[in-house]
Amino acid sequence: MEEITHIITHTLEHAVADTLYLIPFLFVTYVAMEWLEHASGKRTQEAVQRAGAAGPLVGALLGAVPQCGFSAAASTLYAGRVVTLGTLFAVLLSTSDEMLPIFLAEQVPPLTIVKVVGAKVIIGLCMGFVVDAALRLAQRDKQRLRIHELCERDRCRCAGDCATCADNPELVYEHRDDCAHGCTHEHHAHDHAHDHDHAHGWAGIAKSALVHTVQVTAFIFAITLVLNGVLEVVGEDALARVIGANEALSVLASALVGLIPNCAASVVIAQLYLEGVLGAGAMMAGLLVSAGVGLLVLVRANRHARENLAIIGVLYATGVAWGLIINALGIVF
């Protein structure tokens, strides 16, 4: 009974810790998204698309920061089509999650840490540009903001959730209730929109962002609680035996473990590498796909199941491919 109580307490503590620090990232991200939707227009849309060209570079660099908050933010931004798919891949592949703190705590040589983080950033950057280039060739690069779709789906009553107005920037959206009667032209609504922006703009944006944040946080906490419980029962020793079976299978297994949307995945992979259980290829395969709760946020925010499965599948294949390449070339860190 005492052991069960310990497992439950430990699981709850980790679930709360893994979830709480994400709240500021999620809230700030949703505020930015709501503001973009509120100020949506042709110039805003064009600016977002122009910035998307350099998105993978920025995403890869931000992903190197040792926490999974940026992967959660990137998934949210992609769901609203504020960033490109290539930018999302760059962040997911480069994110360090808990690997860097483990390496620092174990006093891994600084040059080794720089090599590992640098490799993840370069791979994330390259793959991000490749994905965006492939989508352009397929003529699927023209994306429009979908923030209003998130609002309508979650019914958060945000300021700019009229689909008609979002699709037609020349129209102005005054009140949510007006959507039932259609949008009004700009010259009819200019004066009222000016007053509405001051009276309700930021309050509505903050309220909507808060609703989104609470919904996503609750989802993450529930899934993280279950995952932590499973990991507590299974234990790291069992994972070590599965991952370290043989060199070839270890790459596949490590990447599979890395897909677990929990910070514990990167901790296990980093520790097994330092203990000599995993080789450089298997370690890199697991850490490349280990995006923390970023994949959870993607599944919650981007309600396109096939697209999400495709993203996760390509992410896994990328990790495995680079892991096998590193093994074949005999690269060590």
Run of H or E including 184: strand 184-185
- The string of pLDDT tens digits covering residues 155-211 is 555 544 444 444 444 333 333 344 434 433 444 444 444 444 443 577 777 887 788
Q: What is the predicted pLDDT for the residue at 98?
A: 73
Run of H or E including 185: strand 184-185
Least confident range from 35-49, 50-64, 76-90, 231-245: namely: 35-49
For residue 172, give the 3-state DSSP assignment: strand
- The string of pLDDT tens digits covering residues 235-286 is 666 666 666 666 788 899 899 989 988 777 787 888 888 878 789 999 999 9
What string of DSSP letters covers 244-310? TS-HHHHHHHHHHHHTSSSHHHHHHHHHHHHTTSS-HHHHHHHHHH--TTHHHHHHHH---HHHHHH
Cβ contact 302:319 at 8 Å: no
- The string of pLDDT tens digits covering residues 134-146 is 988 887 545 555 6
Task: Determine if the pTM surpasses 0.85.
Answer: no
- Total of domains in the chain: 1
- The string of pLDDT tens digits covering residues 292-305 is 788 988 998 888 89
Per the DSSP assignment, residues forming a β-bridge with 185 are: 171
Q: 268: domain range? A: 2-329
For residue 223, give the 3-state DSSP assignment: helix
Q: Which two tokens stand for residue 307?
A: 């697209």
